[in-house]
Amino acid sequence: MMPTLSPPLGSILKCHVCVSNEGKMWKQVINCCAEKSNQLSENLFQLQKLIEKTHMRAEVICRGCKMQRYCSVSHLLADRPEHQPICNVLRELQRYRKIDHPLLLDGKINDRTKLQLVISQLKLILSVKLGRPLSPREHQLIGNPAVCDVCFSSEALEDCQGCTGVAFCCADHRRLVENNHSPQDCQTLALIASPFRQLDCFVNINNFHNTSKIKETHLIDAFFEATNVRISNTPWTDLESFQLFATCSSFSGIASLCLAMTHIFWVPDPKRAVVVYVVGATEKTLNYFQDMHLQFLFLQFANIQHIQLHFIGKTLGNIGEMEKVFQVKDVQRTVIERFYPLSFSQFSCIFNVDPTLILILQPDFIGAGETIQNMVDFIKKQDVDDVDWQEDCLSSILRSVGVPICYTSISMMQAMSDFTAIDSLAKKNNISIERAYNLTENPYREILPLLNPCPVDWERIVYANNYLEVVFTSIKKY
Ligand SMILES: [Zn+2]
Ligand SMILES: [Zn+2]
Ligand SMILES: [Zn+2]
Ligand SMILES: [Zn+2]
């Protein structure tokens, strides 16, 4: 089992305690299934009760922040210790600015641009006052606040029955929301709000079948060809469908690598190992390189028999070396995995850098998702784990002359800022950049939608690995 990419979400109008209890209960049920424990029926009964409770409207709104919602006073009290710090800051802010709701920080909100602006101001104020980055649930509370989708009022709200992902304040606005809210939007939001998102649920696939034309197809079809597993159109309706959907989504990393490899010219000599540096790797990155994913790669490339994967990332544990052997399409294939808890610049000082390809999955060269300049400056002052992407590290990647560098980004804005960071640093170092391949919509992006954590970005819903770019570097000639 591996963790999913997204933090727990749940609906904006639901009781926070009930939603996280439901998530915990699902986890217990899954464990019972795996262990074939006789506790299962009791747990299923409790889960059913919880689901009914989670579906009730949360009528109790915290009086301090006026934003967090609960089903009952007892759940409000139960959540006090965790919610208190952010609540105090929001309460103080309202008192100081003499406003009735944190979202009124800049006066009444009339349009989405203003809403996004206020959200980013609030996030900035909160992280400064709290002296730390916001937690996923705090990001969710501020970044996706409960307001009418039409008039942005925060009073007397009801949510869309289909997805519980948008709200409206009155019957008129409900009609307007429903007109603008396509069935597809509704499904995407339902998938984001699904309690299954809190679970670590993947299915392990052992049998692999057909190769795909990687340049011509996309994740869902390539996954189907490879595994014979068809995923559901309504994956939020039951756990099994959701698990398969999430499993398919997890093939995004390896399939993006396959796509990048088909665009790079090299003479594949089956005896020689393909050496991939996975730079900026974290625990999350490793989820993309499970045995099933590696077999998918071998399935697509008949002439690759040996792969070396070097995971380079400061937060990685010292796992040592692993060797794996697979039989794919009647050919024996081997993988050697090495793990380096180093930044790439440290790595390049110690080791001889000579990979076939450098892969960076969702870097954030500039900041931590918040791309506007003042946020970047603020975040840089903080001791964030993203030190990997400080200049010297990126410079050493760029100095790997002639090696294709592939990276993915979550949104168009992030992709542009990643490229800007690369380009300006390259200029400074007299390196020229050749863009070999650039995809605005990667057909192998993840299929699990995410709410964009960056409030100033114009895309509200994003997907991991949504954008894919392959660049080569060379030393400038005069
Ligand atoms: Zn509750
Ligand atoms: Zn509160
Ligand atoms: Zn309204
Ligand atoms: Zn809906």
- Of 198, 223, 240, the position where a domain reaches its end is 198
**What Cα–Cα distance (Å) separates residue 87 from each residue in 63, 68, 83?**
9, 9, 6
Residues 301 and 447 in one domain: yes
> Would you say residue 410 lies in a domain?
yes
Residues 161 and 270 in one domain: no
Question: Could you tell me the distance, in angstroms and rounded to a whole number, from the CA of residue 197 to the centre of ligand 2?
Answer: 24
Which residues fall inside 5 Å of ion ligand 4, going by CB?
Answer: 160, 162-163, 186
Residues 179 and 258 in one domain: no
Question: Could you tell me the distance, in angstroms and rounded to a whole number, from the CA of residue 149 to the centre of ligand 3?
Answer: 7
Q: Which residues of 100-136 are buried (b: 16+ CB within 10 A; e: fewer)?
A: ebbbbbeeebeeeeebbbbbbebbbbbbeeeeebbee
Cα distance between residue 300 and residue 288, in whole Å:
16
Question: Could you tell me the distance, in angstroms and rounded to a whole number, from the CA of residue 324 to the centre of ligand 4?
Answer: 45
Residues 276 and 419 in one domain: yes
CATH for 415: 3.40.50
Question: Could you tell me the distance, in angstroms and rounded to a whole number, from the CA of residue 19 to the centre of ligand 1?
Answer: 7
Residues 186 and 259 in one domain: no
Print the domain residue range for 384. 250-475
Question: Could you tell me the distance, in angstroms and rounded to a whole number, from the CA of residue 91 to the centre of ligand 4?
Answer: 31
DSSP bridge partners of 334: 306, 325
Which residues fall inside 5 Å of ion ligand 3, going by CB?
Answer: 148, 150-151, 153, 169, 173
The structural domain count of the chain equals: 2
> Would you say residue 158 lies in a domain?
yes
Residues 163 and 274 in one domain: no
Ligand index nearest the alpha carbon of residue 88: 2
Residues 178 and 257 in one domain: no
> Would you say residue 381 lies in a domain?
yes
> Would you say residue 156 lies in a domain?
yes
Residues 262 and 179 in one domain: no
Question: Could you tell me the distance, in angstroms and rounded to a whole number, from the CA of residue 147 to the centre of ligand 3?
Answer: 8
Is residue 369 within 8 Å of 454, Cβ to Cβ? yes
Q: What is the pTM of this model?
A: 0.78
Question: Could you tell me the distance, in angstroms and rounded to a whole number, from the CA of residue 179 to the centre of ligand 3?
Answer: 14
Strand ranges for 185-258 from DSSP E: none
Per-residue pLDDT of the chain (478 residues; tens, 9 = 90+): 333 333 334 567 788 888 888 878 877 777 777 676 677 777 777 877 777 777 777 789 999 999 999 989 999 999 999 999 999 999 999 999 999 999 999 899 988 888 888 988 899 899 899 998 888 788 888 988 888 888 888 887 788 877 777 888 888 988 887 777 888 888 888 888 777 776 767 889 999 999 999 999 999 999 999 999 999 988 887 888 888 999 999 999 999 999 999 887 666 677 889 999 998 888 888 999 999 999 999 999 988 999 999 998 888 887 789 999 999 988 999 999 999 998 887 888 888 888 888 898 877 554 433 333 333 333 344 444 444 455 666 777 777 777 888 989 888 888 888 888 778 777 877 888 888 877 778 999 999 888 776 766 677 788 889 999 988 887 766 5
Cα distance between residue 117 and residue 210, in whole Å:
48
Residues 189 and 262 in one domain: no
Ligand index nearest the alpha carbon of residue 86: 2
